[in-house]
Structure 1
Amino acid sequence: MKRVFSGIQPSGIPHLGNYLGAIRNWVTLQEEHECIFCLVDLHAITVWQDPKELQEHTLQQTAVLLAAGIDPQRHILFNQSAVSAHARLAWIFNCVSRLGWLNRMTQFKDKAGKNRENHSAGLYVYPNLMAADILTYKATLVPVGDDQKQHIELANDIAQKFNHDYGTDFFPQIEPFTPPAARVMSLRDGTKKMSKSDPSEQSRIDLTDDADTIAQKVRRAKTDSDPLPSETEGLAERPEARNLVGLYAAVSSTPPEQVLAEFGGQGFGTFKSALADRLSTTIGPIADETRRLLDDRSHLLSVLRNGADRARAIAEPIVTEAEQLVGFLR
């Protein structure tokens, strides 16, 4: 089986976009792969985090992942900072990676904007840490969205340069895996992605929302005054309508064409009610189990610690050998 590595930032309660874009696919990957899932708290602090909130978010994220179906017995779930090999290999990769490569990373430009000089050095070099996250385990398959493929290319460049510089074939090539995933947009603005950082809670469906909260958020979701079209072409210039139809299609595992065949010509009142029911059926059990798990913090900590022990057992021999290849005395 191929070894899969994937990470998610514990920087807030996961929302529907996180579930449909990543977590649901993680659950599926468990069936045929050896999976290492990581709460990347080192990545989280590239932007300042309140320490108590970071701890709380890490436990919340753990509870959500378990509730959604991640199996910590068959696979590995841990928080990144508990395995020092990540940071050690990341420093080596900081010295292997070239500034020109990092200057081409579009995500830093997008996140930093015009104030790039005021952002942390960690935010600038975090693609090197991402490469280390993967290669610490010699993982060869990484599920990513289109916006992350550039980081896999960089990780492969780093692995190739390390191998060349030290006359070895130590690190493998990484294969990006882009599973089919819904592009989930804000409920308040269909042109922006659903985001944890949006100040409006009405913009997203959190994976801890109960049925009443979901119904309220869907009812208040921005739409236009026209009825739903009968063909997908009619959604082209209607971002909010396209988003809601896409959500219904994603949670019901049906194509948008079939959704419009059922609801085309109708107003949004009936459709939003049906969408809220679908979302509640999907999110409800996850939210209930998340709340149950959060009542037992000792269990969540035990899961993370056990996962870190198992991750460390894989990572230490790999990173120790990389350090020896570099010339470090051990």
Structure 2
Amino acid sequence: MTRLSGMTPSGRAHLGNYLGAVRRWAREGAEDDLYFVSDMHAMTTAYNPQRLRALSREMLAVLIGSGIKPERVFVQSDIASQLTTLTWVLECTCTFGEVSRMIQFKEKSAGTKTVRLGLLTYPVLMASDILLPGAAEVPVGEDQAQHVELARVLARRFNSTYGEAFVVPRAVTPTVAARIRDLANPDRKMAKSTRDEAGVVFVLDNPDMIRRKFRRAVTDTADRVEYRPDEQPGVANLLEILGACTGRSPQQAATGIDSYRVLKETVADAVIEELRDVQKRTEDLLGDPAELDRIRATGAQRAAERGRHRLESVLRLAGLG
């Protein structure tokens, strides 16, 4: 059974990405699972090509540096010819109403004068990401569940209209993981695309930078180190991070800490230690472009091979070629 997960390089990988997803992929990934850098998805809004290319390489290195086996990782655009071909077939299977009802499209296009067509149609590209390698399960959060449902609809429609070609995937809820909030504003989650980076801890931040960001983390005036998410969201966020890094619950993580100063220093120490080996492996890869290129090319070759026969079958059934 194949599971598929991806991460869009809309910004640099941060602590929330690592603790919430990447670390789990590295620890729980099975032999047939695939993980990819979804660089084509980052094109749905305004972007800088050079920055996108650099972020994609960095994110690929972070995934491998985090412990995901290189043979399970690839960059989406490296198999663009397969994906775009399948996307056209699926777009001709999909309806305008189905993509225009996507919640993310409505939210991201609201109040925007110029909306890129890709923002409307990228759920079909996401369906191609899922269906091409025959993914049976797609771990996603609530914000992406609707897109997986579209992939299910398109797979069933194609199979019943033209012939059996696709595995019908299902969305699965990931193992409960820390939901890391922005250190400067715990009312919002930590995000790659946040313009104000003061509250975002990036995976490759050096130890001094990590410590400075935690020292400036928003707490409150109570000076009570207790896990009370509703009353003390900033403190709760720090305890969740500490718990995730030390393998304890947030309530257990609070034990023995009697001040916010000690809490912030303790969390910073735990995060620095958690990321130490990840940073070393990632920086080694980024410092050896030839090796990273070799790993990337091998991953692309394997990903392409995984989808080749299915794409050939789809084209034949659709009356092409």
Instruction: Indicate the TM-score class for this superposition, using the shorter chain for normalisation.
Output: over 0.9
SS in 2 for 1:188: coil
Give the match for residue 101 of structure 1: 98
> Is the Cα–Cα contact under 8 Å of residues 191 and 239 in structure 1 kept in the other structure?
yes
> Is the Cα–Cα contact under 8 Å of residues 4 and 139 in structure 1 kept in the other structure?
yes
Asked if 1:65 corresponds to 2:63, the answer is: yes
User: Hey, what's the Cα distance between the residues in 2 that align with 1:176 and 1:201?
Assistant: 31
Asked if 1:189 corresponds to 2:185, the answer is: yes
Correspondence for 2:264 among 269, 272, 280 = 272
Deviates more, 1:101-110 or 1:303-312: 101-110
Letter in 2 for 1:294: L
> Is the Cα–Cα contact under 8 Å of residues 83 and 125 in structure 2 kept in the other structure?
yes
- Seen in structure 2, the aligned counterparts of structure 1 residues 11 and 235 have a Cα distance that, compared at 3 Å, is closer
Q: CA deviation at 1:299?
A: 0.9
Q: TM-score, length-normalised on structure 2?
A: 0.95
Q: CA deviation at 1:10?
A: 2.2
User: Hey, what's the Cα distance between the residues in 1 that align with 2:20 and 2:110?
Assistant: 25
SS in 2 for 1:205: coil
Matches within 5 A, 1:309-324: 309-324=301-316
Letter in 2 for 1:314: R
User: Hey, what's the Cα distance between the residues in 2 that align with 1:145 and 1:33?
Assistant: 23
Q: Which residues of structure 2 form unaligned runs of 5+?
A: none
Asked if 1:129 corresponds to 2:121, the answer is: no
Deviates more, 1:286-295 or 1:203-212: 286-295
Correspondence for 1:139 among 120, 135, 141 = 135
Correspondence for 1:39 among 21, 37, 40 = 37
Give the match for residue 218 of structure 1: 214
| Number of equivalent positions | 319
Q: CA deviation at 1:68?
A: 0.5
Letter in 1 for 2:9: P
Letter in 2 for 1:102: V
> Is the Cα–Cα contact under 8 Å of residues 225 and 235 in structure 2 kept in the other structure?
no
Superposed CA deviations along residues 86-130 of structure 1, whole A, max 9, x for unmatched, are 111111111212222222211122222222x51111011111111
Give the match for residue 170 of structure 1: 165
Letter in 2 for 1:188: A
- Seen in structure 2, the aligned counterparts of structure 1 residues 218 and 190 have a Cα distance that, compared at 3 Å, is same
Deviates more, 1:120-129 or 1:169-178: 169-178
Q: CA deviation at 1:78?
A: 1.5
Give the match for residue 51 of structure 2: 53
SS in 2 for 1:202: helix
Superposed CA deviations along residues 168-193 of structure 1, whole A, max 9, x for unmatched, are 23212212232222111111111111
Asked if 1:240 corresponds to 2:234, the answer is: yes
User: Hey, what's the Cα distance between the residues in 2 that align with 1:288 and 1:314?
Assistant: 31
User: Hey, what's the Cα distance between the residues in 2 that align with 1:198 and 1:12?
Assistant: 8
User: Hey, what's the Cα distance between the residues in 2 that align with 1:289 and 1:172?
Assistant: 36
User: Hey, what's the Cα distance between the residues in 2 that align with 1:229 and 1:152?
Assistant: 40
Give the match for residue 80 of structure 1: 76
Letter in 2 for 1:20: L
User: Hey, what's the Cα distance between the residues in 2 that align with 1:71 and 1:33?
Assistant: 9
Correspondence for 1:153 among 149, 154, 157 = 149
Q: TM-score, length-normalised on structure 1?
A: 0.92
Q: CA deviation at 1:229?
A: 4.8
User: Hey, what's the Cα distance between the residues in 1 that align with 2:175 and 2:117?
Assistant: 31
> Is the Cα–Cα contact under 8 Å of residues 165 and 313 in structure 2 kept in the other structure?
no
Q: CA deviation at 1:206?
A: 0.5
Q: CA deviation at 1:59?
A: 1.2
